[in-house]
Structure 1
Amino acid sequence: MPDPSLVTEGLTIRFGGHVAVNNVSCAFHPGELTVIVGPNGAGKTTYFNLISGQLSPSEGTVRKGGTDLTRMAPSARARHGIGRAFQLTNLFPNLSVLENIRLAVQARSGHGWRMFSNVGRFSTLTQEARHYLEATKLSEKADMLAAELPHGDQRKLEVALLMAMEPDIYMFDEPTAGMSLDHTPDVLDLIAALKQDKTKTVLLVEHKMSVVRALADRIIVLHNGELLADGPPDEVMQSQIVRDVYLGSSGEDAA
């Protein structure tokens, strides 16, 4: 197995007297898709927030390769290859679909907003942005405002934004939340395609067991902020304590 791309060691956060994440140590590897499950209040999204920098830990560290990210802002972590998608879409609603992607390409290339930038460079950025629209099957909606897209297409656009940033670590927090059955397969196919790139690491918070079964190489179970189980999907889902506490005796209930 390759060296870990991302490591959390003793990660802990307290809110007053409440310990939301308690001493969670995990190593994540390139070419692996890890699904994090647990009931409401288990600490899944809080753990994600600690990794991506929305929250600072009370104790413990987050490292990517040899770089300590623990006290870095989310923007700095993004520059170090941490890409995060949220439960609620995080788009520029009054810009077109193409403009959303072009901004992500500009940010990654280091150009940012430049009023009098070279026209040829602008054309190159636009062409690159269209590549990500094609990959996410959004080319026909390039000129639509992001706010006008159906919810499912907004989620696809968010995946396209992440892809345009070319991170090493992809983080998805319930990517199919609120989506219709018609749109769900499109987003799942995009995530499945990402994990085929063995240089990328994919982390996914999800409660739908059908999604977990379809995508997971590995499952982590959190309970009251603590790591309850970690391993291959079949092994974790057959664990009696996991079945009793999270999945129900049939193993079909939401995690």
Structure 2
Amino acid sequence: MSSGISLETRDLTIRFGGHVAVNAVSCAFGPGTLTAIVGPNGAGKTTYFNLISGQLKPSAGQVLLHGRDLSHLSAPARTHAGLGRAFQLTSLFPNLSVLENIRLALQSRRHLGLDLWHVWSHHKALTERAEQVLESVALTARRDQPAAALPHGDQRKLEVGMLMALDPAVYLFDEPTAGMSVDEVPVILDLIRRLRLQADKTILLVEHKMDVVRELADRIIVLHNGALVADGEPEAVIASPVVQQAYLGLAPVEEAT
């Protein structure tokens, strides 16, 4: 494998009965890049993410991280290997405080276990790092509130903060701005922009908002009926008549007035 590839899927496939939800998708992703994955509803985008992160077991194919085959590892094992996943729906510890959620993610990253009752003074560095993460996601003022008490937008920010605390090599964002108000969206997008500047990080983004895709993506891949149908630089892919008409629901460029 090339040293310029961090994550790769080879002929990744999953079948549900007679339905092929992801069909032999082979794609490689390099560090320092943000790839947007687009396509109509039911195209297989989230299923593709689920196969990469280990929520689903493939019918065929492989997932490789830095050349290591992760295909038979569980989702938690893949997280420890360096895959970080943010879900469309928040996956927090609802009864714990905002700060405790971040500290648990940091403990997990450092393989310290999830013992909340461990003497926190022994982990001063963890607490300081947790405070830094909270500041970066604009949640310092809510540090002591239970996660369940947060508005939806703040829960999304906390989830991104937990992902940042894990410090993965690959970030998988599945519609990170879904359900957020117009005022809340810029905070998440700014976080992704900052992550994008890190040359050693690889970012995959499922996003329906094409203005977000245009701004953030270095590359776009298009899935349709579980198959990879387009792959390239954003402007070229978006301008492709077949993609605009069949997959994005837009009028082809040459027919636009």
Scaled by the length of structure 2, the TM-score of the pair is: 0.94
**SS of 2:51's equivalent?**
helix
Partner residue in 2 for 1:249: 251
User: In structure 1, what is the Cα distance between the partners aligned to 2:27 and 2:95?
Assistant: 39
Q: CA RMSD in A?
A: 1.4
Match of 2:102 in 1: 101
Counterpart Cα distance in 2 of 1:114 and 1:213: 43
Distance (Å, rounded) in 2 between the aligned partners of 1:121 and 1:31: 35
Q: Counterparts of 2:115 and 2:191 in 1: how far apart (Å)?
A: 31
Q: Residue 171 of structure 2: SS of its match in structure 1?
A: strand
> Counterpart of 1:51?
52
Aligned residue number for residue 82 of structure 2: 81
TM-score, normalization: structure 1?
0.95
Equivalent residue number for residue 21 of structure 2: 20
CA distance in 1: counterparts of 2:68 and 2:134, whole angstroms: 32
Aligned length: 251
Structure 1 partner of 2:91:
90
The answer as to whether partners of 1:2 and 1:30 remain within 8 angstroms in 2 is no
Distance 1:122 1:229, change over 3 A: same
What's the secondary structure of 2:121's corresponding residue? helix
Change (3 A) 1:230 1:94: same
CA distance in 2 between counterparts of 1:58 and 1:163 reads 31
* 2:213 is the counterpart of 1:202: no
Task: List structure 1 runs of 4+ shifted beyond 4 angstroms.
Answer: none
Q: Deviation at 1:123? A: 2.4
Stretches of structure 2 that go unaligned for 5 or more consecutive residues are none
SS in structure 2 opposite 1:193? Answer: helix
Alignment of 1:168-183 (within 5 A): 168-183=169-184
Task: Indicate if the aligned counterparts of 1:5 and 1:30 stay in contact, CA closer than 8 A.
Answer: yes
Alpha-carbon distance, 1:101 to partner:
0.3
Deviation at 1:239, TM superposition (A): 0.8
SS class of match (2:131) = helix
CA offsets, 1:72-112, max 9 Å, x none?
10011001000000000111111110010011011111111
State the percentage of identical aligned residues.
61
Kindly provide the amino acid, as one letter, of the partner of residue 99 in structure 1.
E
Number of the residue aligned with 1:224: 225
Report the more deviating stretch, 106-115 or 198-207: 106-115
SS in 1 for 2:194: helix
Within a 5 Å distance, the mapping from 1:33-72 to structure 2 comes to 33-72=34-73
Instruction: Note the C-alpha offset of 1:116.
Output: 6.4
Aligned partners of 2:240 and 2:252 also within 8 Å: no
Deviation at 1:120, TM superposition (A): 3.3
- In the TM superposition, what is the alpha-carbon distance from 1:131 to its structure 2 partner? 1.1
Q: Would the alpha carbon gap of residues 119 and 20 (structure 1) be closer, same or farther in structure 2, given more than 3 Å must change?
A: closer
Q: What letter matches 2:156 in structure 1?
A: R
Quote the Cα distance in structure 2 between the aligned partners of 1:128 and 1:237.
40
Residue aligned with 2:25, SS: strand
Partner of 1:153: 154
Measure, in 2, the Cα distance between the counterparts of 1:151 and 1:114. Answer: 27
Question: In the TM superposition, what is the alpha-carbon distance from 1:66 to its structure 2 partner?
Answer: 2.1
